[in-house]
Amino acid sequence: MAEKQGSVGLVKAQGVRFDAPLTLRSGAVLPGFDLVFETYGTLNADRSNAILVCHALSGHHHVAGYTDPDNTDKTLGWWDNMIGPGKPVDTDRFFVVGVNNLGGCHGSTGPKTQNPATGRPWGADFPVVAVIDWVHAQARLADHLGIGQWAAVMGGSLGGMQALRWAITYPDRLRHAIVIAAAPSLTAENIAFNDVARQAILTDPDFHGGHYYEHGVRPWRGLRLARMLGHITYLGEEQMAEKFGRKRRPDAGSYGFDVEYEVESYLHYQGDKFAGWFDANTYLLMTRALDYFDPARTAGGDLAGALAVAKSEFFVAAFSSDWRFSPARSREIVNALVRNGQDVTYAEIDSVHGHDSFLMEDAHYHALVRAYMKRVLP
């Protein structure tokens, strides 16, 4: 099969073990941990071209390229349209690192991996992690890779929150924070949607208090519902209207509760697919980390106060149709930085794709990121 143009090509995950315990924000101590990561491009001689890409709720370390040369489309990284040779984040210029976060289900230490204290999977005993814990773990990965300072830490959604947290927690270890489709904290409505998703999982009889692995079952019903609900909040309302409207499936029956409308079919497909591969305990952890994220809190609710310690420059981008993390939320970040006299570039991008816009290939959006990356590494 021909190499995809602009692709980093075939990639292979790497793993690293950190034996020193990690004290989490909750006070729990993780007795060493593994991280799985991928890298693309080449670290330059002065180690000044490294970019960390942080993933969102359902993401992982496989950001770009493909893992199976015979199945490139289906094994493509989740941000392959953004990262690769000649792409907005140009791997001919940058050394890009993707990592699966602690608590994840793609190889890094998490609920599915073995709890050394019991010899069985952690399950529900895996400690609840916060965004800052991920950032500390990522800092160890940076040490391991010999990266004293990232050229940029970037991410969309929950990934953007990690970039923000990096800027506050390790101000000397990044030159740029690229914060896309994120928010400085969740609203009550955001928390409410997370709560329903979690309750779907927690009340699934196959959840078994989070120790379902040992019962040979998975709370797929709950995870499926969580993902279906999530999808509604990821899409733009206008986009849903255009894509599905009130269209019915050609083969639909009627006057029953099976799938009749196209939008039902889409949600079931997405829910089934996700429930087939994602881990429910990880979903719980990721949504709780989202709930907790609120860097302003330790500064008495003053976001500008919390951001004042940052030394990086900021690129903040939001999408007009994103009602999960609306542009107004991104502007809170921008306004706080402006108030501090900090260096921030803000882009509010017209898009019909809702929260998912940050993952989409959009010429204007990509041109803006491309332009900013010239500033990251002139």
- Helices first, then strands: H and E counts in the chain: 10, 12
DSSP output for 265-331:
HHHHHHHHHHHHHS-HHHHHHHHHHHHH--TTGGGTT-HHHHHTT--SEEEEEEETT-SSS-HHHHH
**Beta-bridge mates of residue 273:** none
Of 106, 176, 198, 329, the residue at the interface with a second copy (CB under 8 A) is 198
Residue 374 makes CB contacts below 8 A (sequence gap 6+) with none
Q: Do 111 and 210 form a contact (C-beta atoms < 8 A)?
A: yes
CB of 257 to a second copy, least distance (A): 6
Which of the stretches 21-29, 69-77, 155-163, 370-378 binds a second copy when contact is defined by CB under 8 A?
Answer: 21-29
Q: Which of 378, 376, 332 is nearest to 177 (CA)?
A: 376
DSSP 149: S
Question: Residue count at the site for a second copy (CB under 8 A)?
Answer: 54
Which of the stretches 66-74, 168-176, 221-229, 342-350 binds a second copy when contact is defined by CB under 8 A?
Answer: 221-229
- Tokens, residue 165: 């947290």
Which of the stretches 101-109, 181-189, 309-317, 357-365 binds a second copy when contact is defined by CB under 8 A?
Answer: 181-189
Mask for 86-125, x = binds a second copy (CB under 8 A): ----------------------------------------
CB of 143 to a second copy, least distance (A): 26
CB atoms within 10 A of CB 49: 21
Of 36, 56, 132, 263, the residue at the interface with a second copy (CB under 8 A) is 263
Of 241 and 367, which has the nearer Cβ to a second copy?
Answer: 241
Contact status: 1 vs a second copy (CB under 8 A): no
How far, in Å, CA of 339 to CA of 328, rounded?
A: 16
- Whether residue 204 lies in the annotated active site: no
Of 10, 43, 191, 299, the residue at the interface with a second copy (CB under 8 A) is 191
DSSP 86: T
Mask for 285-324, x = binds a second copy (CB under 8 A): ---x--x--x------------------------------
Give first-to-last CA distance, the chain, whole Å: 35
Please give the angle made by the CA atoms of 122, 128 and 133, to the nearest 5 degrees.
110
CB of 299 to a second copy, least distance (A): 14
Distance from CA of residue 140 to its chain's centroid? 19
Written as one letter, the residue type at 320 is S
- Whether residue 157 lies in the annotated active site: yes
Contact status: 57 vs a second copy (CB under 8 A): no
CB of 301 to a second copy, least distance (A): 9
Of 23, 71, 187, 298, the residue at the interface with a second copy (CB under 8 A) is 187
Of 23, 26, 71, 298, the residue at the interface with a second copy (CB under 8 A) is 26
- Tokens, residue 65: 């390229």
Of 5, 257, 300, 363, the residue at the interface with a second copy (CB under 8 A) is 257
Burial call 139-164: b when 16+ CB within 10 Å, e when fewer: bebbeebebeebbbbbbbbbbbbbbb
Of 47, 208, 243, 331, the residue at the interface with a second copy (CB under 8 A) is 243
Active site residues: 157, 322, 355
Q: Which residues bind a second copy (CB under 8 A)?
A: 25-28, 127-128, 185-189, 191-193, 195-196, 198-200, 202-205, 221, 224-225, 228-229, 231-232, 235, 237, 240-241, 243-246, 254-257, 260-264, 267-268, 271, 284, 288, 291, 294
